[in-house]
Amino acid sequence: MKQNKVLSLLGLAMRGHYLVSGEQQTEEAVKNGTACLAIVAEDASANTKKLFMNKCSFYNIPVYEYGTKEDLGRAIGKDLRSSLGVCDAGLAAALIKQLEIK
């Protein structure tokens, strides 16, 4: 059930234009402060995970590992995606709430 809510919220963020996807766009959103949350795929490369953990820690943005690249891409209607950035505070808060339910 949790997985469906997280992926549904990601799809909603994409349709509302509150989501950036892909490493370059997500990294840029983190750097310029528009991202409220970063999500990295669990099967992303070690370098990608380290990059986002370090960047998000430096810029004080929450980051979570969730799903596979295929899951994240399918949720937003795109191809494989290793990272996503949520740029709306309300959607980010809802996603964090769902991601922390284990």
Residues 44-56: tens digit of each pLDDT: 999 999 999 999 9
pTM of the prediction? 0.92
Domains in the chain, CATH or no CATH each: 2-99 (3.30.1330.30)
Q: How many angstroms separate the Cα of 55 from the Cα of each of 29, 43, 60, 75?
A: 11, 19, 8, 24
- The pLDDT of residue 1 is above 80: no
**Amino acid found at 79:** D
Q: How many CA atoms lie within 13 A of 26 on its CB side?
A: 25
Residues 86-96: tens digit of each pLDDT: 999 999 999 99
